Amino acid sequence: MRRHLKSLTGAAAALALIGVAGATPAAAVDLSFYYPVAVGGPITKVVDGMAADFEKENPGIKVKPIYSGSYQDTITKVLTAVKGGDVPQTAVILSTDMFTLIDEDAIVPFDDLAKTDADKAWIKSFYPGFMENSQTGGKTWGIPFQRSTVVMYWNKELFKEAGLDPNKPPATWAELVSMGQKLTKKDASGNVQTWGVQVPSSGFPYWLFQAFTTQNDVVLMNQAGTETYYDKPAVIEALQFWVDLSTKHKIHPPGIVEWGTTPKDFFERKAAIIWTTTGNLTNIKNNAKFDFGVAMLPANKRRGSPTGGGNFYIFKKSTPEQKEAAFKFAKWMTEPKRAAEWAIATGYVAVSSAAWETPEMKKYVADFPAPLVARDQLQHAVAELSTHENQRVTKALNDGLQAALTGAKPAEQAMKDAQREAERILKPYK
């Protein structure tokens, strides 16, 4: 009898639970949110915390943040889902994947969801440098969230040892070469112990190459994403300069330099100057056992660096309520206060000027002014290479760059081959 009673109450409790669980989704809008992690630190915890705060302020919406691997994994998962169903409502994906997502008919523009003037003002609140990769054909398809840019880190101690002013990093290509020559150190048998400068070239060399081309005042593609200019003389010149750093001036390691070990090479004093993402700022701050500086990249005809990183996107296969909720979530996540919080936690560049005016951000940069360099460089920044068939068109350039950097092809030949390949791929989009 007693056992009977127990099971009966158990059943009643279960029924009640089902009742409760069944009631909530009817009232709340569910959002699944895919996000990648591309930098060190407890990112998952930060994102979960932000999502929980958002739910508290917006009781009608349930956000389920789903860690989805690297950027590459994330787009793979999302596009597989688009083809198979069970698509997330919103995700953070590389800004350069905008054309791919449009071509797959996967996303909707933010402008269509902006109802109030405040919504429209919000879309306009970001740095124009970041919006170049978020807009095409007069529509806004992505909202800047975790954005970065390339900056130069230099080891002040090694500068001092080489007889250079430790507070004066190279400001031009010519200075980069002359200082690099002083900084490159060899041991008795002629083997290099410290390289003057190191620019990584594994995996996605096009991104750092874009710094060289921008400084040489040339763009690699048009805004519509249908044309590339890999074989322009100024582009070839920029590549020749990169190749010359190791072959002619002997101040840069030969061959392909691994992206992942570049910060470590810097800590180990194997490289006196490195170029890498602002996303490494927190990592370098925590691990460099010497005084280091952060500066804008040197200029040739002008200053310049590409932007990088991920944007918010909203997916088409969602109900109108979900799209509205996703819009709200993206807006909430990029509000000045949150953008500042996110930038401090990760090292990404805060995406709007208002974020830099928040008291939290002001306090942070007062103690550690390095992030300001990235912000100030934004006025010289250009959009990261992005076209239709993006990954393939980019691969053509990557292959050409690596061929030139490993000495397999001269710079001119490599860029002409890359351009021919890119033109072939982009033919259907003309």
Partner 1 sequence: MHRTSGVDARVKPGHDGWGRSLVNQFRANIHGWLLLLPAAVLLAAFTHYPAVATLWHSFFSTPKGNRPARFIGLDQYQTMLEDPIFWIALKNNLVFAAATIPLSIVLAILMALWVNEKIVGRGLLRLAFFTPTMLPMIAVANIWLFFYTPDYGLLDQIRGLFGLPAWNWLGSRDTALWCLIAVTVWKEAGFFMIFYLAALQQISPDLAEAAAIEGTGRWTFFRRVTFPLLMPTTLFVLINAVINAFRLVDHVVVMTRGGPDNATSLLLFYIYEIGFKFWDLGYAAAVTMVLLAVLAIVACFQFFYLDRRIHYQ
Q: Which is nearer to partner 1, 339 or 397 (CB)?
A: 397
Instruction: Rule CB under 8 A: choose which of 58, 226, 391, 413 binds partner 1.
Output: 391
For position 398 contacting partner 1 by CB under 8 A, the verdict is: yes
Residue 397's Cβ-count burial label (10 Å; 0-12, 13-18, 19+) is buried
Min separation Cβ 373 and partner 1, Å: 28
Instruction: Rule CB under 8 A: choose which of 134, 240, 402, 419 binds partner 1.
Output: 402
For position 46 contacting partner 1 by CB under 8 A, the verdict is: no
Tokens of 120: 């429209």
Q: Which is nearer to partner 1, 10 or 255 (CB)?
A: 255
For position 261 contacting partner 1 by CB under 8 A, the verdict is: yes
**Residue partners of 280: CB distance under 8 A and separation at least 6:** 39, 153, 263, 347
Q: Do the strands 29-35 and 90-94 form a parallel or antiparallel pair, or are they unpaired?
A: parallel
For position 226 contacting partner 1 by CB under 8 A, the verdict is: no
Site residues for partner 1, window 170-209 (CB under 8 A)?
A: 189-192, 201-203
* Residue 201 Cα distances to 14, 18, 211, 260, 296, angstroms: 58, 55, 12, 10, 19
Instruction: Rule CB under 8 A: choose which of 28, 46, 256, 288 binds partner 1.
Output: 256
For position 103 contacting partner 1 by CB under 8 A, the verdict is: yes
Find the part of the chain contacting partner 1 (CB under 8 A) among 72-80, 148-156, 216-224, 343-351.
72-80
Q: Which is nearer to partner 1, 107 or 378 (CB)?
A: 107
Min separation Cβ 265 and partner 1, Å: 7
CA angle 134, 136, 140 (to 5 degrees): 50
Q: Which is nearer to partner 1, 105 or 217 (CB)?
A: 105
Instruction: Rule CB under 8 A: choose which of 232, 317, 337, 392 binds partner 1.
Output: 392
Alpha carbon distance 196, 158 (integer Å): 9
For position 413 contacting partner 1 by CB under 8 A, the verdict is: no
For position 286 contacting partner 1 by CB under 8 A, the verdict is: no
Q: Do the strands 61-67 and 29-35 form a parallel or antiparallel pair, or are they unpaired?
A: parallel
Find the part of the chain contacting partner 1 (CB under 8 A) among 148-156, 250-258, 273-281, 307-315.
250-258
Alpha carbon distance 145, 382 (integer Å): 17
* Residue 212 Cα distances to 137, 144, 176, 207, 218, angstroms: 28, 24, 12, 9, 9
Find the part of the chain contacting partner 1 (CB under 8 A) among 115-123, 145-153, 233-241, 400-408.
400-408
Three-state DSSP class for residue 381: strand
Tokens of 74: 């994330």
For position 406 contacting partner 1 by CB under 8 A, the verdict is: yes
For position 136 contacting partner 1 by CB under 8 A, the verdict is: no
Q: Which is nearer to partner 1, 106 or 236 (CB)?
A: 106
Tokens of 53: 């705060």
For position 37 contacting partner 1 by CB under 8 A, the verdict is: no
For position 403 contacting partner 1 by CB under 8 A, the verdict is: yes
Q: Which is nearer to partner 1, 190 or 320 (CB)?
A: 190
**Helices 205-215 + 390-405 axis angle, to 10:** 80
* Residue 214 Cα distances to 4, 203, 221, 388, 396, angstroms: 78, 20, 12, 21, 19
For position 137 contacting partner 1 by CB under 8 A, the verdict is: no
Residue 344, CA atoms < 13 Å, CB-side half-sphere: 19
- Number of shown-chain residues binding partner 1 (CB under 8 A): 39
For position 132 contacting partner 1 by CB under 8 A, the verdict is: no
CA angle 162, 163, 169 (to 5 degrees): 80
Min separation Cβ 190 and partner 1, Å: 8
Instruction: Rule CB under 8 A: choose which of 100, 210, 322, 419 binds partner 1.
Output: 100
Site residues for partner 1, window 289-348 (CB under 8 A)?
A: none
**Looking at the DSSP assignment, which residues form a beta bridge with residue 155?**
292
**Nearest in space to 31 (alpha carbons), one of 282, 419, 327:** 327
Three-state DSSP class for residue 376: helix
**Nearest in space to 386 (alpha carbons), one of 255, 263, 168, 224:** 224
Site residues for partner 1, window 6-35 (CB under 8 A)?
A: none
Whether the Cβ atoms of residue 370 and residue 285 lie closer than 8 Å to each other: yes
Instruction: Rule CB under 8 A: choose which of 55, 104, 227, 360 binds partner 1.
Output: 104
Binding site for partner 1 (CB under 8 A): 72, 76, 79-80, 100, 102-106, 189-192, 201-203, 253-258, 261, 265, 268, 270, 389, 391-392, 395, 398-400, 402-403, 405-406, 408
